[in-house]
Amino acid sequence: QERERLEWQSMLASVLSGDVLKSEKTRIAVALDSLGDEQNNFHQSIWLGVRAKFHGRSVEEERMKLEERRVRTVDAVIGEIMNFRAIRNEEDNGKDMTTSALQQVTAVLQRLEVVQSLYPNLKAFYLDKPIAAEGPFQARCDTLNTWSTVLVSLKHHFDLLRRWTGSDTLDVNQPNTSHEVPIATHGASKSGSQLADGTSFVERLLKEESMQRTFEKGFLVTVHSFLGSVRDAQVNLSPLFREMNLPTFENQLVPLISFPTKLAQAGLRLRLDYVQKLKDPDMLIIDQMTEDLKLSIGLACTLKRQYEAFLAPDPGGNWNLPQCISEDYDLTILEALTNLFKLIHWKLKSGAKGVYFKETDVLEAQWATFNDVSLTAGGSSLVAEQLCSLTNKLMVRVTNYFDTQVRRKMSDEQIISWYGKILDSVRLRYRKLQRFARVLTQRFSNSAEYSIEDVPLDHFISLLILSDHFLVYTHSLEEDGVYVVASNTLFDRPESIRQILTQAFHVDEITNEDGTRASYVLVLSPQTHFLWNGRVMVLDIPKVQLDMKDGRVRLVADGPQRRLGLSKQAFKESLEPMDEDGESLLEPMTLTCLNDVQAHLPSVNRELRKIARATNRLAESTVDSVHHVRSSLRAANGCQELLGNWYLFASEHGQHAHRYMDRSSLLKFNRLLIKLAISWVSFICDDCDPTDRKTFKWAVNALEFTLHRTRRNILHLPDEQFEMLRHKVASCMTLLISHFDILGARSTLEARKEKEKQEELMKSQVSKIHLDEEEDFSFPRQRDAAFIDSSTRLFWERMSGAIHQLDDARAITGLKHRTLGKVLDDEKPEDRSLVFLASSSSNISMRWQQGRFIGAGAFGSVYLAVNLDSGSLMAVKEIKFQELSGLPNLYSQIKDELSVMEMLHHPNVVEYYGIEVHRDKVYIFEEYCQGGSLAALLEHGRIEDEAIIQVYTMQMLEGLAYLHSRGIVHRDIKPDNILLDHLGVIKFVDFGAAKILAKNQRSIQRSRRAPDISVNGLANVNGLAVMSNGLTGTPMYMSPEIIKNDKRGRHGAMDIWSLGCVVLEFATGKKPWSNLDNEWAIMFHIGVATQHPPLPEPGQLSEVGISFIKQCLTIDPMKRPTATELMEHRWMLEFREALL
């Protein structure tokens, strides 16, 4: 079978290699070539025919014309490209070389294009002129095309940036660079005229979105990728650029490269100016500015790293840009970081509930920013100093709080609860701060210090040279008598030497210790001169304050903890040189270590020592406080468990602090711990119940602690102290013996008794439960919305949370899809109306910055904003004009309504600041209310405290009385339109204008402008000016006269009805008419109703309060009392008297 296969394969090979197949292959190939030539000739004929037809010639005439032009131009153009070299002509004296070269390149490329147009395709061109297909010609053509494309693209990007910034020099801080927004009019003579905005480009940019989003999207991303392409082109094509005398792109690129960093720096500077103006800011402002600064600092650091890598020179010398980043760029970043720490300190010392137990969490949340800044020159030392300083302040604050609160005087009833709260709070804060302080100490401690006062210096230097250390000549430290010697592992890493000496810590720490050799730097401060005859590295290092004392050597490792340990071990081995046989080459040397672990920068080390002192003081206060607490609780009953926990806390943290305490503080602290041990054993013997099992547990802990503390100090105890300790320990051992259970007999008996006790307890509880159930069935509960089953409440809380998340996601998605505005055209009526709206006296142009997104609705988006001039918070509504068609008639009514809002100034009415009108959007500025709406408050149930209801009702009455006195009726009073500020003060708000702008359609909640307009521009109802007319408001809060369109009624009567409905909802937690199915059913019921909605049950509100609601819900609007009359109601008078 194998032979048969081999014969078959041999036969196949002979057929394929035979003459017959070869001749047939040749014949078919010739036939195919001829067919291809025919097709090619066919295509050329078509091209020639079309060309002849286009020029109005015959085909033969066109062929002759082409041949003549090819002979006359093609070789000349190819020769021109092969010999092209840009030159400066005499007529180009007024132009720079780049412009002149671009004209020459464009001209020769146009001639090449004309030559290539004489052929049907490039293949025909290359067949006719083989030199054009060769590498040199192709390379020159590609170079000319690339050079020309880059310059044209540069000009295009410059034009885009000039239009975007409004500045010919791309100056982002130049004022009056906007010719479009905002629209403003001044005086009747200039009605409709537009004035340029006086703000700078960066100020306008921060109004609309964060700097982070500006850099993450669109144009600036395109610029960055384009600059990378330019660098690649210049580096790769530089030889041909020089050969053809084409100017490089460096000078043209400098403004474009510097623009992103200038923009980031300007945004950072603007925020810094605002932060420096703050005085006693609100917590919300602190949080907002902290987030803004953090993002701006991170962006500035990221841009610097990107562009420093981009500006790095090419090894071949083909890319050498001048410095494009501002000289004070790093200083701005460091100043911003200092102010960030200032904001964080304000937040931490505010004492806010959300911060009290999360101080270290606030600091740890900023680590990414700290790491970013640490890569900046001088950043790591600033981060280390500020972090340590802030941690020290926190330690001191906790210690002072502990010392003062433990010694507060109070009654016996209060003292147990108070000490329990202090113990819980300080224990949690203490542990977190201790852990954070330990992390900082470990992160920043990267050096050790030795003494060389008593050792021969020449021998020490000889040992260093023998172990291949090398001298680093810095040009700065030597003048102070300080010299730098580095380990041999750093000889080819000069930048690492600079980082080790100048940086307080390294962001990219070495985590994989295996196989990584120790790298360290020795800083010598000898008392005498020495001769170095080993290797030397010359490295410019800026002067660093090291505060070296004479006769010292400071070892600075390339990292903390294990890296420092490896470096110390390597340094020790270098002072004990051995040959291959283990014989000493020179006499070994041992240096005295003065400080095992420290930070090599004195400024950081000082702060670490402060933290250590604060930690020691807190530990001493904790241990020493037990004696005061015990004496304070001696007269109180039931305090044994609290004291036991206090002793346990003091002992645990005392031992923990003992492990990290320096030698100078140990002696004093040991005495405190021994005193604590004696006090703890005394407490067990004297104050605790010997039959309680907890006493046994406490006794074991106390004895173990006593043994541990006296193990090495037993001989140092005074005789009196030792005698007391021995006596108390003996008593404690007696207590322990009494609890011992031999063979489990005692535990079995006690277990049986305990089981019987538990059974009796369960029987009594079961009987009580049955009794309660019978009472529930016998006496049904009244309608009380305050009772809700716990599982039901948890379910609705989960559902509400999910719905809120969905709303937030929808709002964010809607925010991302922004639309472009439109240019005003005076010929269009809607544009004329927009200018008319801009002529409002409340149209302002202020310096403000957009903050976080608050919410969105059908009418637009609401953001938190900061007034950069006053430092106050605002709520800004951004309303975009999606469709202007059909809106012109509504602009005037918006202006009227805003004019009404502009007149209102009252503590219970939201303050309106003004509007800023743009072509594609309108910003409405109002007072920001941190407390949210009453509707959000009522989602959690009714208000059970009647005094709170009275407070809110009184404030609403005062607000309505003010509105009605100004001739204004709100007509849409409901919980959604009532906000609370940060102090809990009621504020009426009106969203009518926003809804008009967003939606031009007739609905239940629609235009508030009446068809009947009075002289003062306000609508009239019953001869009185109001804010609205028509079917306006939410049905369940509407008064009967609104539904029936009855014009009768006292001024503001409809608002009083709505007020009664809101107070009703306060008391019951349910909306009025909540028993009806839908809004139309409610409207029908109100229209034909002869009675008010169901009133609260007597258990929900007092009789006087129910009487007040009845007065508000009087059916006849002529008999319904006014806000002023209701303020004299007995319910309100009693409340005023209670306040007095």
- 375: which residues sit within 8 A by CB, 6+ positions away? 301, 305, 507
d(CA 147, CA 236): 12
CATH number at residue 1037: 1.10.510.10
- In a shared domain, residues 1045 and 974: yes
Residue closest to 1062 by CA, chosen among 965, 987, 952: 952
d(CA 167, CA 163): 7
d(CA 748, CA 754): 10
Residue 197: the pLDDT is: 54
80 neighbors 144 (Cβ within 8 angstroms): no
Let me know if residue 643 belongs to a domain.
yes
pLDDT at 450 over 90: yes
Mean pLDDT calculated for residue range 742-764: 65
Residue 1002: the pLDDT is: 33
- In a shared domain, residues 470 and 562: yes
Beta bridge partners of 114: none
pLDDT at 447 over 90: yes
d(CA 247, CA 101): 8
Alpha helices in 117-249 (DSSP H): 122-128, 135-165, 201-208, 211-216, 219-243
Mean pLDDT calculated for residue range 632-644: 77
Lookup result for tokens 């940060």: 982
Residue 191: the pLDDT is: 41
- 943: which residues sit within 8 A by CB, 6+ positions away? 937, 949, 952, 1066, 1067
Residue 646: the pLDDT is: 83
- In a shared domain, residues 459 and 581: yes
Residue 1096: the pLDDT is: 85
Three-state DSSP state, 520: strand
In this structure, is the dihedral angle defined by the CA atoms of residues 1082, 1084, 1087 and 1093, taken in order, positive or negative? negative
Determine the structural domain holding residue 1038 and report its residue range: 934-990+1027-1140
Query: pLDDT per residue over 576-625, tens digit each?
Result: 877 666 666 677 888 999 998 999 999 999 999 999 888 888 888 888 88
Paired sense of beta strands 921-927 and 912-917, if any: antiparallel
Going across the sheet that includes 552-557, the strands are 536-538, 470-473, 483-486, 520-525, 552-557, 447-451, 592-598
Maximal CA-CA distance, the chain = 132
Query: pLDDT per residue over 76-106, tens digit each?
Result: 999 999 999 988 776 655 567 888 889 999 9
Confidence band of 736 (pLDDT split at 50, 70, 90): low
- In a shared domain, residues 428 and 551: no
pLDDT at 928 over 60: yes
234 neighbors 248 (Cβ within 8 angstroms): yes
d(CA 167, CA 231): 26
Backbone phi, psi, residue 827, to 5°:
-75, -20
Least reliable range by pLDDT among 261-270, 613-622, 774-783: 774-783
The share of the chain scoring above pLDDT 90, in percent, equals: 17
pLDDT at 1084 over 70: no
Told to judge if 972 belongs to the known catalytic residues of this protein, a careful annotator would answer yes
Please give the DSSP secondary-structure letter assigned to residue 922.
E
Backbone phi, psi, residue 57, to 5°:
-120, 170
910 neighbors 988 (Cβ within 8 angstroms): yes
The one catalytic residue in 896, 972, 990, 1055 is 972
Let me know if residue 958 belongs to a domain.
yes
Least reliable range by pLDDT among 639-643, 890-894, 1022-1026: 1022-1026
911 neighbors 902 (Cβ within 8 angstroms): no
Least reliable range by pLDDT among 610-614, 998-1002, 1042-1046: 998-1002
- In a shared domain, residues 66 and 87: yes
**How many other C-beta atoms can be found within 10 angstroms of the C-beta atom of residue 830?**
19
The pair of three-digit structure tokens given for residue 1083, joined into one six-digit string = 């409207």
Let me know if residue 1132 belongs to a domain.
yes
Mean pLDDT calculated for residue range 646-655: 83
In this structure, is the dihedral angle defined by the CA atoms of residues 130, 132, 138 and 139, taken in order, positive or negative? positive
Question: Is 1119 annotated as belonging to a binding site?
Answer: no
Residue 377: the pLDDT is: 87
Least reliable range by pLDDT among 78-92, 644-658, 716-730, 989-1003: 989-1003
Q: Please classify residue 299 by burial: count the beta carbons closer than 10 Å to its beta carbon, then call 0-12 exposed, 13-18 middle and 19+ buried.
A: buried
- In a shared domain, residues 451 and 389: no
Residue with the larger pLDDT of the pair 208 and 203: 203
Please give the DSSP secondary-structure letter assigned to residue 584.
B
The pair of three-digit structure tokens given for residue 842, joined into one six-digit string = 């409340």
- In a shared domain, residues 584 and 620: no
181 neighbors 197 (Cβ within 8 angstroms): yes
Q: Give me the chain's average pLDDT, please.
A: 78
d(CA 300, CA 966): 52
Residue with the larger pLDDT of the pair 1087 and 1096: 1096
Considering 77-91, 124-138, 1035-1049, the range whose residues carry the highest mean pLDDT is: 124-138
922 neighbors 887 (Cβ within 8 angstroms): no
Query: pLDDT per residue over 386-423, tens digit each?
Result: 999 999 998 888 888 888 888 877 777 777 778 888 88
Residue 754: the pLDDT is: 72
d(CA 596, CA 396): 26
Q: How many domains in the chain?
A: 4
pTM (whole model) above 0.75: no
Least reliable range by pLDDT among 13-27, 422-436, 829-843, 1046-1060: 829-843
Let me know if residue 237 belongs to a domain.
no
Let me know if residue 82 belongs to a domain.
yes
Residue 96's alpha-carbon distances to 88, 437, 960, in angstroms, are: 9, 62, 73
Let me know if residue 250 belongs to a domain.
no
* Helix orientation angle between 1103-1112 and 1130-1139, rounded to the nearest 10 degrees: 130
1014 neighbors 1025 (Cβ within 8 angstroms): yes
Please give the DSSP secondary-structure letter assigned to residue 74.
I
Paired sense of beta strands 978-980 and 912-917, if any: unpaired
Residue closest to 446 by CA, chosen among 526, 496, 504: 504
690 neighbors 665 (Cβ within 8 angstroms): no
Let me know if residue 890 belongs to a domain.
no
In this structure, is the dihedral angle defined by the CA atoms of residues 965, 971, 975 and 981, taken in order, positive or negative? negative
Residue 812: the pLDDT is: 74
- In a shared domain, residues 548 and 480: yes
**How many other C-beta atoms can be found within 10 angstroms of the C-beta atom of residue 409?**
7
347 neighbors 264 (Cβ within 8 angstroms): no
Mean pLDDT calculated for residue range 924-941: 86
Please give the DSSP secondary-structure letter assigned to residue 774.
H
Residue with the larger pLDDT of the pair 700 and 78: 78
The pair of three-digit structure tokens given for residue 888, joined into one six-digit string = 């012109």
680 neighbors 647 (Cβ within 8 angstroms): yes
- 982: which residues sit within 8 A by CB, 6+ positions away? 282, 284, 929, 930, 931
Lookup result for tokens 């016998």: 778
Residue with the larger pLDDT of the pair 507 and 821: 507
- In a shared domain, residues 943 and 1072: yes
Domain end position, chosen among 559, 579, 598: 598
CA 810 to chain centre: 21
Buried b (16+ CB within 10 A) or exposed e, 677-710: bbbbbbbbbeebebeeeebbebbebbbebbeebb
Please give the DSSP secondary-structure letter assigned to residue 548.
P
- In a shared domain, residues 481 and 589: yes
170 neighbors 160 (Cβ within 8 angstroms): no
Going across the sheet that includes 986-988, the strands are 932-933, 978-980, 986-988
**How many other C-beta atoms can be found within 10 angstroms of the C-beta atom of residue 883?**
8
Residue 186: the pLDDT is: 43
Domain end position, chosen among 570, 598, 626: 598
Confidence band of 879 (pLDDT split at 50, 70, 90): confident
- In a shared domain, residues 1045 and 1086: yes
Domain end position, chosen among 598, 625, 640: 598
Residue closest to 617 by CA, chosen among 653, 577, 571: 653
Buried b (16+ CB within 10 A) or exposed e, 106-125: eebbeebeebeebbbeeebb
Let me know if residue 404 belongs to a domain.
yes
- In a shared domain, residues 425 and 478: no
- 972: which residues sit within 8 A by CB, 6+ positions away? 990, 992, 1005, 1028, 1032, 1033, 1034, 1037, 1058
- Can you give the three-state secondary structure of 931-981, one letter per residue? CEEHHHHHCCCCCCCHHHHHHHHHHHHHHHHHHHHCCCCCCCCCHHHEEEC
Query: pLDDT per residue over 290-349, tens digit each?
Result: 888 898 898 889 888 888 888 888 888 888 888 888 889 999 999 999 999 999 998 888
Confidence band of 957 (pLDDT split at 50, 70, 90): very high
Mean pLDDT calculated for residue range 985-995: 63
Three-state DSSP state, 891: helix
d(CA 247, CA 450): 58
d(CA 504, CA 388): 12
Query: pLDDT per residue over 886-920, tens digit each?
Result: 555 556 656 666 777 777 888 998 888 888 877 67
CA angle 421, 425, 427 (to 5 degrees): 115
Residue 821: the pLDDT is: 41
